[in-house]
Structure 1
Amino acid sequence: MNEGAARPRGRGVRHFRTPAGSAFIALAFSALFLPASAAAHSYTLGDIAVGHLWSPPFTASAEGLAVYGPIAVLNKEAPAHQIVGVNSTISGKVRFRSARDGAEQWPPALVLAPGRPLSLAPWGVHIWLSDLNRVPSAGDSFDLTLDFGKSGTLTVKVVVETATGH
């Protein structure tokens, strides 16, 4: 291109469809939604980004263990994805749980709308592990496998830590 030649306009946005563009978006997502110490615990599967997943320490009164954190479909033009199942080696039963209007609900799957992050949180939907065969303590971690149906599976590390950093 000549020094004085005009540059094409409107092409920069299209670069985000490349793998490098997706990586940039994943890093930006991590920086916006995650504490600095959590950035090392983020994962991608195609255009799905899973941020730092964490669990508060187990308490006997809880009868289970919750998992929280951000999940998003980074490409706004992608179709919706679903998390259709979750497995963990530390529990016999893993489900999606939601407490709304004082009533527990157990949705069969979670829908991930493109460009709209899903926050697994105490006040909304989250992952619930019960029938624990090992009780992790603060500072421990465990593996969790997320099943995105036809989009594949992704094994992530969940860190057990207090909510003060979140």
Structure 2
Amino acid sequence: MAQRPPTPRQERIPFRMNLFRTRVPFILMALVALVAALAAVACGGDDDDDEPAGAGQQFTLGDLTIVDPWVRSTTTDVTAAYMTIKSKGAADTLVSASSPIAGMVQLHDVITEGATSKMQEKPGGFPVPASGQVELKPGGYHIMLMDLEKQPKEGETVELTLKFEKAGEITITAPVKKAADSGADMNHDSHGSSSGTGSPTASSGMGSPTAGAGY
């Protein structure tokens, strides 16, 4: 008895199976590439959040980041340093600072009493809140550099060593900048000492004469 030839449907089945087997690897490869691309975009977004566009100098010590430090240019024997200190973990405190260009360095705050503002040493230092930040800026917290051995000029850098209660010490470099013309220019004479040397007398937590200098 003669064998019947395969029907057209039976001939097409192997073709479809081969086509399916050929397409599956390409589909899987496309999916893998898509997942990898999405992961790369996600990682890039995290980097942007950690370091915003336009961010300046940053120094890291454990959970702390010191952002945009700078020192005022001066022609006298006192100046001030400013920065933002951020914590991504536990609270800490900036307890002291030092610099090779200054004979004395203190942590100061500006206190307003009626119509008068004065500087005084900040007892206990500058607290950095947990998962927060503290800003050192003119008219508020600042690091006072006194008895300068060298007057910092605009365009130079100044070395600062910061000591934290928990994180320890870190040495940073801060660019020297000119104070903005906003009524906050320094008047170092207002911090004159009784010896007539022009050095501030704010020690042991007592307020210095006035803070009209805009520290």
> Common fold, TM-score beyond 0.5?
yes
Question: How far did 1:30 drift?
Answer: 4.8
Per-residue CA shift, 1:92-114, capped at 9, x if unaligned? Answer: 10111111201212113111101
The corresponding residue for 2:59 is: 43
Residue identity (%): 29
Partners of 1:95 and 1:52 in 2: CA distance: 20
Q: Structure 1 residues 29 and 112 mapped into 2: Cα distance closer, same or farther (>3 Å)?
A: farther
Higher relative contact order (CA 8 A, sep 6+): 1
- Point out 4+ residue stretches in structure 1 off by more than 3 angstroms: 27-30
In structure 1, the residue matched to 2:80 is: 66
CA contact (8 A) 1:30 1:51 kept: no
- Structure (1 or 2) with the larger CA radius of gyration: 2
The residue number in structure 2 matching 1:104 is 119
State the aligned residue count: 132
Contact 1:30 1:42 in 2 (8 A): no
Task: Kindly state the Cα deviation for residue 149 of structure 1 after the two structures are TM-superposed.
Answer: 2.7
For 2:84 and 2:51, how far apart are their aligned partners in 1?
9
TM-score normalized by structure 2? 0.56
Helix, strand or coil for the counterpart of 1:136?
coil
- Cα separation, partners in 2 of 1:93 and 1:28, compared to 1, 3 Å: farther
Matched ranges for 1:66-145 at <5 A: 66-75=80-89, 78=90, 80-101=91-112, 102-108=117-123, 109-145=125-161
Q: Deviations over 1:34-62 (max 9, x none)?
A: xx3x62x21111110100100121143xx
**Structure 1 residue ranges without an equivalent (≥5):** 4-19
Alignment-mate amino acid for residue 139 of structure 1: G
Paired residues of 1:90 and 1:134 also in contact (CA < 8 A): yes
TM-score where L is the length of structure 1: 0.71
The separation in 2 between residues aligned to 1:103 and 1:29, in whole angstroms, is 37
- 1:110 to 1:29, Cα distance in 2 relative to 1, 3 A: farther
Q: Any gaps of 5 or more consecutive residues in structure 2?
A: 1-30, 32-42, 181-215
Letter in 2 for 1:103: K
Select 2:170's aligned residue among 142, 154, 159. Answer: 154
Determine if contact 2:71/2:158 at 8 Å carries over to the other structure.
no
d(CA) in 1 for partners of 2:92 and 2:66?
A: 13
Aligned with 1:158: secondary structure? strand
| TM superposition shift of 1:115 | 2.2
- Does the aligned pair in 1 maintain the 2:93–2:128 contact within 8 Å? yes
* C-alpha distance in 1 between matches for 2:142 and 2:159: 16
